Structure 1
Amino acid sequence: MTLDLRQEHPRPGNPRPIVIIGCGGIVAAAHLPAYRKAGFTVAGLYDLDRARAEALAAEWDIATVHGSLDEALATPGVVFDVAAPPVAHPELIEAMPQRAVLLLQKPMGLDLQAATRIRAACRARNLTAAINFQLRFTAMMQALADALAQGRLGRLIDVECHLNLVTPWQLFPHLLPNPRVEILSHSIHYLDLIRALLGNPQAVLARTMGHPDTKLAQTRTSAILDYGDDRRVTLSINHHHDFGRRFQDASFRFEGDRGAAMAKLGVLLDYPAGEPDELWLAPKGGPWAQVKLASGWFPDAFIGPMANLQRFAAGEDPVLHTSVEDAWHTMALVEACYRAAESPGTPVPRD
């Protein structure tokens, strides 16, 4: 089987400089390495903690550290990369200049109410705005999407996301006070990917819960997405399988009526060091073949949302794939999962 599949989004022909708002760990670990690899220019940084921004600027040879948010937002002809905490997103969006171009770190606010406020502010200010959902831009998922477009798997009829591993939640202390954790901060990636491939489900059944080993509100999730009678879509997420590597897993299984695919999300195994991503394809009745992947999720996939945003703003792309309009529906699915988790199950009949 020939495995000639597209693995990356095209780069913009004439990329704009980038001003980053917020200089937390994800910027140092993923945004800046990705932008350097792509050849994007970071023109300036701003953070409430100026010392942190200055240290990052020195490390990455960035010329400008802005002294205030107003100063940063007054920079003309740039794309704003907003990597601030989601609680700050609505007010930051409302401060944006008219017709600004910006990429907003996921999630799109802390709940659907905030997402709706963000969407309304983007509309009112005529912003070209996207959310930084990167899983759909990974090499493995770009290749999978291309395989689906070529008809290699036929119509998808069974999709399963299965995580059984150990996540070092101690790296994310800011999540401790949050009433919503696992779905909003982690499984949102899988829900967004599923939406990208299958569209919006009709309904959802879900449970999300914590674990005795953590004070976080939730770190385990089970969900069933309702796509009709002939399509099964499930998520089984456990971040506490602390019993060695042998039975740990981070995978997506896609089965169609003509073929199947298995994807390994390597970065989640022994995070943040991770393992290589993998993608395997098999035609119905045929052998499995591994797709040679050009890159992994971190940091390479962070190029994709920025490249798509820049190309869309320049008229080079007809679709802004993770626009706030589209991302609102991912937030609606997240909201539905939490509402389902709070709803009572069907009682078991008693004798």
Structure 2
Amino acid sequence: MIENNKKKHFIELGKFLNQFKRDNNNLDQSVKGNDLFFEDFVNLILLSQSHNGWYTPENVYFSIESWANALTESNLDQWIKNYQLQNDKPKSVGLILAGNIPLVGFHDFLSVLITGNSVLIKTSSNDQFLLPFLAKYLIALDLEFAKNITFVEGKMENFDAVIATGSNNTARYFEYYFKNKPSIIRKNRNSIAVLDGSESAAQLTALGEDIFRYFGLGCRNVSKLFVPKGYSFVPFFEAIFEYQDVIHYEKYANNYDYNKAVFLMSNFKLLDNGFLTLKEDQSYSSPISSVFYEYYDDLEELQLKLKLESDQIQCIVSNQLIENSIDFGETQKPNLWDYADNIDTISFLLTT
């Protein structure tokens, strides 16, 4: 398939996804494949939480809407305009996907196909249905995709390169197992926010979105705050109060109760509002239902620290206090050109 043809099909996929909203699934008669896929996708969304307790309809819809917004002609053009996508030697690229948030591996899937390569996919046991469904939709649009998309259940074989996502522990296994293959191995990363006390109530409420979306399970979720000494957390707690319903989800509530109990038994000092605990800690990775915080004295010193520890950080939220930071409430809305771990996946695929 030529580049424009592939792009056309992903634009059509974006139109298909754009029909599905949390408040109203709106059938658009002009969208291709609705007779085969629309009702089945509605049912899959509603069943997702039975497959994975963290995949609430609200979060699945959020992921779908994010990809619908991303898969437009203008976004795809802006993303690929700086690359030469002519591929005379297509490769078979293995993807080992995570399952922490819905469709977390879709960007890698898209990148492999848009560069003219074939993809071998090993899904996470936590996310086995959404991506295969979208792959079937693409194949229905163009049977050529059937030659380029393969899902594997057992051992992955006959591939030229690999992109694998996992924990720091599994990353060591991946690095050893795929040592003879070109690879991108993704490890644990977390996102942070740097505050100085001048943030508006609206910004702090938006920060709640960065913390609670997907229950904090994504690498783009804010799991740590850097605040100046003497910072008052009262405005922060007041601003995020609208997210209190998160405690009504049983899996989240169980984590809140457990992690709070562990902290208290260890005599850690906590700040707590009934659905989120704040703990002073130097680590970037906080458990579900908790956010760590650390005090800073000087912003320049903090910026140097963050640069030195950039391999642990996915993105930084601030009111332009830190270089290359993003706005409050935007962590779960990356552009197509915002690469995980700041590794350009397209360049990797084109030069491997």
TM-score (norm 1): 0.37
Higher relative contact order (CA 8 A, sep 6+): 1
Higher strand proportion (structure 1 or 2): 1
Higher helix proportion (structure 1 or 2): 2
